[in-house]
A and B are shown apart, each in its own frame.
Chain A
């Protein structure tokens, strides 16, 4: 029963979700919306679980003086501060100008943007490795990349006016064809995976 009941729920919900894609009728759409609301409720509950887990793992790390335990101390301090600032004024805490939002926009947001900006350097280093012409295929890749880069910047047009149109052709035909081929495979794999889950064949997460 420990296995059968969850599998039965998956079967019913899986078939119901599939049906909602083809039946627009209001009663079905309403039940679908209700289920989505339940899912949001469950996610909200799990956020508490996640926060609790984060605190427990880091408290244990400090207690046992594991390597780099100082970082855990900083993390818990920041977590406690943000929780306090987020709750102490209720909903008003998330209004503009409040300390919670001030820290969000002036600390967390720039830190995230800094991590994102690393991409520029990583794209350069990855491109340097990818575009080495070691064989015929790599040479094709290199040529295509050079043409596309030149077709997307003004200096490319200054060298030869045809670069933008060649770039468009590469993007619209060979590139789009390859992407659609992969997407088609992905969608079929997705259907197969969903069917395995609905039928209870794929259940590595609850054996």
Chain B
């Protein structure tokens, strides 16, 4: 590679971005890292405008400003709860841009560019297209505009495979045949958009973290492939990094849910199990082993160490504020409090951490699964807020169930567990939670925000009456 100004500047920008990602690995430096990333991106945009002497083209400037303005507006108006859908939406826009860039390239100079560039332009259109429509569907599902349950159509898997084969064929024929490039490009666009829809519509709620990670990876790949087509190394490099990042998150999410990527892609969901179990409302049997614990208030007030386990139910009932109040109360009483965060709790990777950070819970108290799991056995009380599958002990014992082998938070090892869930229905996996039947478990059913508020006031009363008695 010759050392001209373009390549040198590109390499410097890439290295700065790499340093920025390095800074993202600690909460202390991540904010600075992100800002450096934003600045280097601005530098990349300005450089391309100035170097090519196109900064004076009004169309470019106006489009850039409009885009930036809409980006700020979208984010400004959105609260923390809607972050998953916003990330999905932005992701889709990035994919859409890659699709259009590839499409224009094929349209304008399809027969002039070399085979390699043409091949990458087709790939860019296809990956960009499926990222665009897939992300929009995902965002729609998260927002609740589209049915959040997995939607399957007739012969879903067959249609998916068929589309994939046709897309591959278009990619190959479009590259080698010099005529009909516009037809091929249009076909690739329409079919890849369709593929994204059909792929994403089948994904259910709890599979969302995996889907979003995967689509994130795709948007990076689309940008990278686009970079091949236009011959720009910043695009290639940064796109590849994003692709790798999304892939790592996808891997982590798959492992944490005990599902293979293949199962997600081919759409073998938990749905069948869910269908059968939601129809019959599960009754928690008070057999001999299950004694109602009435003194749980006393247990909490006397506990030395407490772990709080949040799940998607906390996000649904908007109970973060109450969790924070509970946290303050417990910390105020001198207790050792920590949060146990399962990797797939919520609708995107690390969702719970963001929600808890938003209500000013310091990040030192947020522990990941590997750190916290050895601690449960020596913990006095665990308070579960809207989590089910990630604490289900059946994952260790019940062979043959969908969650068998899935890493769980070992809540059942604690001396006492208080569960603030909506009901005792199984979670997304459809597997009943045997934890609820244990004798040292107190169930406080209902909307988590309400039950937690109640719990806090009861705890305060209990403590007061206790001190009155002692006096």
Q: Do chains A and B interact in one complex?
A: no
Partner-B contacts on A (CB < 8 A): none
